[in-house]
Amino acid sequence: PYRIKGATESKLGAIYYCLGSYIKGKQLLENSLANLRKSSPNIPSKIAQSLNYLANTEGALGNYQKTIQ
């Protein structure tokens, strides 16, 4: 269940980012990462994708320092 929920939240977070709803997108992406990290087996490519979306969202919010962490 964590893997499916995490993957779905990741896609929704990316959609909210594209629509300009950065705060909602950020929340979904952070939840996505938590769920993907709990999933067994861990899927590094999905985690990397969520991190990429989250970095883009942080950049759009002006949190440039967070994009390189």
Q: What is the pLDDT of residues 5-46, one digit of tens each?
A: 999 999 999 999 999 999 999 999 999 999 999 987 878 999
Query: CB-based burial of residue 65 (10 Å sphere; 0-12 exposed, 13-18 middle, 19+ buried)?
Result: exposed
pLDDT above 90 (res 51): yes
pLDDT at 28: 97
Banded pLDDT at 47 (limits 50, 70, 90):
very high
pTM of the model: 0.89
Q: What angle do CA 12, 16, 19 make, to 5 degrees?
A: 140
